[in-house]
């Protein structure tokens, strides 16, 4: 009975550790390395690998073990072979569902642990989505105004000679592009929670335009949410609010 109880305890302990490490490793490490499709394939192969390990550690007849391992190997090979077919247009299918045929192909996709950024072609300015939600268009023409960029041109009416500008959220970078053309602005800071936007947008001509019009300091400021200092701040806030309850 003691041995059986110890085995059950270890099963519970390993289950708890696995349920904690799985999301942490996937969210904070793997999602910055692999795409959703690649993660799905990895999870499938890992499942087959764990099943093979169980078979190897279980006292079963050699013939049955060989047959099971062969089946798992073939299943893994099938998963690898079918991965391009299964993952084809996966993000577009998840986002647009039955309206997928009324939307253009993605021009670019950026995936990381902060989210998924996609850019869809459009004649009035490519559309940028953040985690499947509309987040703006690539357009700086106030006549087309498909993204209401005309609001950005009103800054000159609100401030005679702005020199420092703080922009919260990069989106398509269209506002950044317009602000960069203001000759009076000497410092333009952009704060964005998802570094993928900088990868998808900021590596464009915005910085060069800003310098050409006399700007001195063009910088993208990453959000501190996932930094050590940011996590410590969240922990302290949570402990303060839970004080007296836990």
The mean pLDDT value of the chain amounts to: 84
All residues at 6 or more sequence positions from 34 whose CB lies less than 8 Å from its CB, including other chains: 42
Question: In the predicted model, what is the mean pLDDT of residues 145-153?
Answer: 92
Whether 100 and 176 share a structural domain: yes
pLDDT for the residue 131: 92
Asked whether residue 121 falls in the same domain as residue 34, the answer is: no
Q: Of all residues in the chain, what percent carry a pLDDT higher than 90?
A: 34
Q: In 3-state terms, what secondary structure has residue 131?
A: coil
137 close to 146: Cβ distance less than 8 angstroms: yes
Q: What integer pLDDT is reported at residue 225 of this predicted model?
A: 62
Judgement on whether residues 86 and 100 belong to the same structural domain of the protein: no
Domain membership flag for residue 202: yes
Is-contact 197 117, C-beta < 8 A? Answer: yes
pLDDT class of 237 with cuts at 50, 70, 90 = confident
Residue 246 has pLDDT above 70, yes or no: no
In a domain, 241, yes or no: no
Report if residue 233 sits inside a domain. no
User: Is 70 part of a structural domain of the chain?
Assistant: yes
- Domain range for 157: 94-222
pLDDT tens digits, one per residue of 73-95: 999 999 999 999 989 899 999 99
Distance CA 191, CA 171 (A): 11
- 54 and 154 housed in the same domain: no
Q: Are residues 104 and 82 in the same domain?
A: no
Nearest residue to 128 via CA among 142, 144, 147, 113: 147
* Same domain membership, residue 98 and residue 44: no
Confidence tier at 52 by pLDDT (50, 70, 90): very high
- Whether 126 maps to a domain, the answer reads yes
Q: Are strands 127-130 and 133-137 parallel, antiparallel or unpaired?
A: antiparallel
Rounded to whole angstroms, the Cα distance separating 180 from 166 reads 12
Domain boundary among 90, 105, 135: 90
Residues 66 and 146 in one domain: no
Q: Is residue 8 a part of any domain in this protein?
A: yes
Same domain for 109 and 167: yes
**Any idea what the Cα angle at residue 225 is, between residues 224 and 229, rounded to 5°?**
60
The answer on 62 and 24 residing in a single domain is yes
Same domain, 104 and 191: yes
Strand partners, 106: 120
Residues 118 and 144 in one domain: yes
Out of 90, 107, 137, a domain closes at 90
Do residues 130 and 120 touch, judged by C-beta distance below 8 A? no
DSSP state of 202: I
Q: Which residue among 75, 90, 105 closes a domain?
A: 90
Q: Evaluate whether residue 231 is within a structural domain.
A: no
Cα 109 to Cα 184, 200, 201: the distances in Å are: 35, 8, 11
1: pLDDT strictly greater than 50: no
Q: Phi and psi (nearest 5°) for 90? A: -60, -45
Starting from the edge strand earliest in sequence, which strands make up the sheet with 164-168, in order?
Answer: 164-168, 187-192, 217-222
| Torsional class of 169: left (φ above 0), alpha (ψ -120 to 50), beta (otherwise) | left
The neighbouring-strand residues paired with 127 are 120, 137
Number of domains in the chain: 2
Residues 193 and 110 reside in one and the same domain: yes
CATH code of the domain in which 139 resides: 3.40.50
- Does residue 237 fall inside a structural domain? no
């Amino acid at each position: 009975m003691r041995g059986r109880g110890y085995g059950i305890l270890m099963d519970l302990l390993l289950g708890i550790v696995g349920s904690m490490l799985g999301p942490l490793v996937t969210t904070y490490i793997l999602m910055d390395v692999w795409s959703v499709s690649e993660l799905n394939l990895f999870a499938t192969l890992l499942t087959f690998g764990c099943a093979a390990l169980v078979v190897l550690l279980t006292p079963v007849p050699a013939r049955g073990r060989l047959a099971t391992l062969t089946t798992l190997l073939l299943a893994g090979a099938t998963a690898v072979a079918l991965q391009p077919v299964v993952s084809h247009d996966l993000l577009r299918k998840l986002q647009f569902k039955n309206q997928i045929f009324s939307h253009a192909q993605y021009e670019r996709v950026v995936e990381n642990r902060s989210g998924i950024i996609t850019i869809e072609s459009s004649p009035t300015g490519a559309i940028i989505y953040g985690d499947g939600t509309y987040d703006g268009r690539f357009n700086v023409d106030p006549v087309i105004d498909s993204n209401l960029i005309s609001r950005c041109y009103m800054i000159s009416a609100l401030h005679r000679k702005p020199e420092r500008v703080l922009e919260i959220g990069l989106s398509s970078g269209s506002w950044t592009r317009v602000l960069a053309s203001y000759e009076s602005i000497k410092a333009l800071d952009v704060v964005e929670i998802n570094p993928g936007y900088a990868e998808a947008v900021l590596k464009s001509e915005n910085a060069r335009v800003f310098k050409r019009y006399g700007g001195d300091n063009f910088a993208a400021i990453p959000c501190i949410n996932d930094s050590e200092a940011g996590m410590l701040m969240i922990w302290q806030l949570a402990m303060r609010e839970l004080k007296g309850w836990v």
